[in-house]
């Protein structure tokens, strides 16, 4: 299965995240807004939400490592 990681994918890149999901990718979406992530997750079963503030480098790195 194809996997994509989209940083900021619940905001300006939400349509890109959905497009990738509709193309058969499993899409890990990193975002800071839980409401936006939940809304996006409800639109496709191929979306994996990752709620993390990418300014926290240690947590961000850990979440990316866990999602891949």
Q: Where do the domains of the chain lie? A: 3-67
| Torsions phi, psi for 6 (to 5 deg) | -120, 115
Cα–Cα distance for residue pair 43/52, rounded to 1 Å: 20
Higher per-residue confidence, 58 vs 64? 58
Q: For 3-67, CATH number?
A: 3.40.50.720
Torsion, Cα 3 25 28 35, to 10 degrees, reads 180
pLDDT(45) > 90: yes
What is the per-residue pLDDT for 44? 97
Q: What are 61's two structure tokens?
A: 């790195």
What does pTM read for this prediction?
0.85
Beta bridge partners of 50: 30
């Amino acid at each position: 299965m194809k996997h994509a990681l989209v940083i900021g994918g619940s905001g300006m890149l939400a349509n890109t995240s959905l497009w990738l999901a509709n193309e058969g990718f499993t899409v890990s979406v990193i975002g800071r807004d839980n409401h936006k992530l939940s809304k996006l997750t409800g639109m496709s079963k191929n979306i994996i939400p990752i709620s993390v503030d990418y300014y926290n480098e240690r947590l961000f790195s850990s979440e990316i490592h866990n999602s891949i």
